[in-house]
Structure 1
Amino acid sequence: MKTTAKGDRASLTPDLCVIGAGSAGLSVASIAASLGASVVLVERHRMGGECLNVGCVPSKALLAAAHRAHEIRRSEPFGVGAGEPAIDPAKVRDHVRNAVAAIAPMDSAERYRAMGVHVIEGEARFTGTGTAMAGGQIIQARRFVIAIGSRPAIPPIPGLDQVPYLTNDTLFDLGETPEHLVVIGGGAVGVEMAQAYRRLGSAVTILEAGERILAKEDPEMAAVVERALRAEGVAIRAGRGVEQVAPGPEGRFAVDLEGGERIEGSHLLVAAGRQPVFDGLDLEAAGIETDKSGIVVGRSLKTSNRRVFAIGDCVGGAGAGARFTHAANHQAGLVIRCALFGLPVRYGSAPVPRVLYTDPEFAAVGLSEEEARARHGAFRILRWSFADTDRARAERATTGHVKAIVTRRGRILGCSIVGARAGELIVPWVLALNKGLKVSDLAGLVYPYPTFSEVTKGAAVEFLRPSAQNPWLRRLMGLVRRLG
């Protein structure tokens, strides 16, 4: 990378300038540097972004602690007496922090500088269609990649600004067990955290304005998760919006719902989604279009400025949708191909799975039943219950089932799984979709016994079952029988 003088300021001219050091930006920077490209990486806040600091890592660490508590409570049927677990909320918080701290060096500025990446810890601002400023330096990159992420969306609820509330940006600093946690939002974050805190000893209520929680998922599969939450004591109020929030004594509050119900709580978690943040970037100076969903990109992940790409949570337009870390990493690989090698790419052509880390877990890839009905005239639904799998029975993890959507010829359109280890069990279905395999290919695999993976075999073999009723097949067996 060249450094040139422009007036009295230094000017950097890298192959790539990556703005944002969350999962998406770090992936671009590390891949590009490993290929020998010159890279400038700009981060104004914390290396690792949301995923490391306030998202994926701390939330899964908290869920792991909650899972341990739940397993102690349910150990009696295994012949192991334990009773009610003793929960130390400060130590739970320390566990979460330790998980983040253990991973942080992998995302640190020092590590990326050791890779040869020029890291600037400061705020970036576009000054033209091909230039930006950061850390007092002018950056004239051949290509820019915006990966600035998002922040919690705060709904315009009357009175919300009058009470203290938590978001995922602040939740993991909590060193106490809420007496009654009220969660606004029945999406993935709200549902995961509701179950976690219920298992850690809090009373929990989920408020969802839509008709049901997990509204974007298959109703059949979401209902399994909802039943599990209710069975553990999570209260759910769906189909009624929040009219207002009112402060109460000693830091408490009350939430008034449509229809007149009032719910009082000690802690309020707002989990109403996320929104992209463009503060200070001056995208207009670079000719970059935005809308309410984020930075507008096409399938190539290019913005309206052909020299600038956008990936991750800040993306809108044709690139919006799957706002997951693994989706952002996939986008990073596509940007490298296009920005460094000039190869055509098309985001959305590869199946991107999604996972909800509740207990039971939920995972899905490809089309849902509703989407398949809209796009395909005829298809089959294959189901297999965890209760029909020996390993699940041995571990008393029989809740849930596999639901696969296939054409009559066996081409896989989509699959969803709710049950133990669904996030792992979805992977062969992702591979099958990506490689155009048929469900008979999955049925023909040899699965180790006894493992949870046999739920995939069970669902796949269901596709072959009607063939056993073929009269010609039965005549053939009869002929072979007569021949001895």
Structure 2
Amino acid sequence: MSKEYDVAIIGAGTAGLTAQEEVVKHTDNYVLIDDGPLGTTCARVGCMPSKALIAVADDFHKCSFFDEYGILGAKGLVPDHKKIMARVRSMRDEFSGGVIQEMSGFMDKVIRKRARFLDANTLDLGDETIRAKSIIIATGSKPYIPEPWLPFKEFIIDTDQFFELETLPRTMAVFGLGVIGIELGQALHRIGVQVTAVSRRKTAGGLTDPKLEEYAFEHFSKEMHIELGTAEIFGKTETGLEVGAGSKRWTVDRVLIATGRRPMLHNLNLESLKLDMDTKGMPVFDSETLQIGNLPVFLAGDVNGLKPILHEAADDGTIAGYNACAGTMARFKKRIPLHITFSSPDIAIAGLSHKALTEKGIDYVVGEASWEELGRARMILGKAAGRARIYADPQKGRLLGAEIMAPAGEHMAHLLAWAMGANLTIKEILGMPFYHPVPEEALLDAFFQIAAQITEPVPMPILEKRKDRPHGKE
């Protein structure tokens, strides 16, 4: 006799745990199924340990211009890779341990087994079957290694394995310059690993605007060695691998695969549900309800392939948890998109990207900002690099999106996303204070350029007269 539940959640990552928080508001008759390591992708192998390594790398990198500041002797400092990785793992364990501790109040609801579908309401757990009125798939994603490279796995490190390294190799190839590739590649380079990154085209960190892609690629190429072309592995050497891109070949001790992650769907026996699949082999589902077809099955978090970002996965968990318990499907409006790459300078996209605007055929005007001559960036922060392109509607100048590569870009991306969420016009934005000297000051140039291009005139400067008493009288 199968046990009966109102909701079964497959996966105890960010989306699954957030779904649990929502489900428990409606019913106590649920189960959370996960046969893998607990602690979420972000805490174990993603956002948090990578930022711990990046913090060390950025601090050590500052030594390279200490002489210029008048601080002498820093060139004698040497990074201890074994101690660096031990500290990163220690922090990783603390982060993931905190997540597991938070689960202690409902561990009696957790089943540590692998689940496979028998039908839309029945799951096979190996030694038992269970039934649920609704099922949430929140199994996350995992790194992908192309099949031709599998014979070389002993020399290949994926992003799930990286933080288990006790020390770091002398030389490393980093395949891919997306978010993970540029973050870890730059960090490794800064703490003394001889890094050669490989990118298929001139871009970095998820940027889509051609002008910024070119700028970012040229900037990072000055700091670390980057080869253009399709990454290849030719064979083993005495100590590592012979790799290449284009017409170039070289040898490395290890290869870090940073070419992306894929949804973990293959072991769920989804074939039994006879689903409609898209061109990428993904189940067709509603992005606003997360329901798969008309089935009582929902796809939440990284596994749905939409936006593999923690806050998006958490929102997905809430949506799926609510709809799994509701009698009718509720459609949810998503937050303003926000993507941040923690490189140096930061790379960020707030709102619609250049690619999204182009594909949707949305008309826009552009304002450009630069940090190359900004005094605070050059003299105080020591980072004289960065540009941004901000897109706005041609009538009132409401912000549509922005692509940024800038010092403190992570903070400016938030401000821009909030302005988009508040639906501010360029007139309202220019009515806000901009302090001097701060990195945000550079955004003024972009805003003034937008104001000059829109159809609704904007007075310069924007100073509103007080309405409660005559101007100039106190």
TM-score computed with the length of structure 1 as normaliser? 0.84
After superposition, residues 6-405 of structure 1 pair within 5 angstroms as 6=1, 11-13=3-5, 15-33=6-24, 37-81=28-72, 82-108=74-100, 111-115=102-106, 118-134=109-125, 136-157=127-148, 160-161=151-152, 164-210=155-201, 212-214=203-205, 217-232=208-223, 234-238=224-228, 240-249=229-238, 251-259=239-247, 261-290=248-277, 292-299=280-287, 300-304=289-293, 306-315=295-304, 320-342=305-327, 344-346=329-331, 349-376=334-361, 378-387=363-372, 389-393=374-378, 394-405=380-391
- Cα deviation for residue 46 of structure 1 reads 1.2
For 1:471 and 1:61, locate their aligned partners in 2 and report how far apart those are by CA, in whole Å: 45
- For the 8 Å contact 2:32–2:110, the answer to whether it is kept is yes
**Amino acid paired to 1:192:** E
For 1:331 and 1:37, locate their aligned partners in 2 and report how far apart those are by CA, in whole Å: 20
For 2:411 and 2:206, locate their aligned partners in 1 and report how far apart those are by CA, in whole Å: 23
The gaps in structure 1 that reach 5 residues or longer are 1-5, 475-484
Secondary structure of the residue that 2:235 maps to in structure 1?
A: strand
The gaps in structure 2 that reach 5 residues or longer are 462-474
Identity over aligned residues, as a percent? 24
Secondary structure of the residue that 2:344 maps to in structure 1?
A: coil
Larger relative contact order, structure 1 or 2 (CA cutoff 8 Å, min sep 6): 2
Q: In 2 relative to 1, CA 186–348 (structure 1 residues): closer, same or farther, beyond 3 Å?
A: farther
**Amino acid paired to 1:297:** F
- Cα deviation for residue 337 of structure 1 reads 3.6
Compare 135-144 and 322-331 and name the one that shifted more: 135-144
- Cα deviation for residue 359 of structure 1 reads 0.4
TM-score computed with the length of structure 2 as normaliser? 0.86
For 2:22 and 2:332, locate their aligned partners in 1 and report how far apart those are by CA, in whole Å: 18
**Deviations 1:216-272 (CA, angstroms, capped at 9, x unpaired):** 62232233432332222x21111x2245421111x222114443x211111111222
**Amino acid paired to 1:362:** I
- Cα deviation for residue 448 of structure 1 reads 4.6
For 1:377 and 1:352, locate their aligned partners in 2 and report how far apart those are by CA, in whole Å: 16
Alignment equivalent of 1:432, drawn from 419, 435, 445: 419
1:3 alignment counterpart:
none
- Cα deviation for residue 23 of structure 1 reads 1.4
For 2:345 and 2:281, locate their aligned partners in 1 and report how far apart those are by CA, in whole Å: 31
Q: In 2 relative to 1, CA 179–408 (structure 1 residues): closer, same or farther, beyond 3 Å?
A: same
User: Does residue 463 of the first structure (1) align with residue 450 of the second (2)?
Assistant: yes
- For the 8 Å contact 1:276–1:293, the answer to whether it is kept is no
**Amino acid paired to 1:236:** I
For 2:62 and 2:405, locate their aligned partners in 1 and report how far apart those are by CA, in whole Å: 19
For 1:168 and 1:101, locate their aligned partners in 2 and report how far apart those are by CA, in whole Å: 16
Q: In 2 relative to 1, CA 336–472 (structure 1 residues): closer, same or farther, beyond 3 Å?
A: closer
Give aligned pairs, total.
Answer: 455
- For the 8 Å contact 2:143–2:262, the answer to whether it is kept is yes
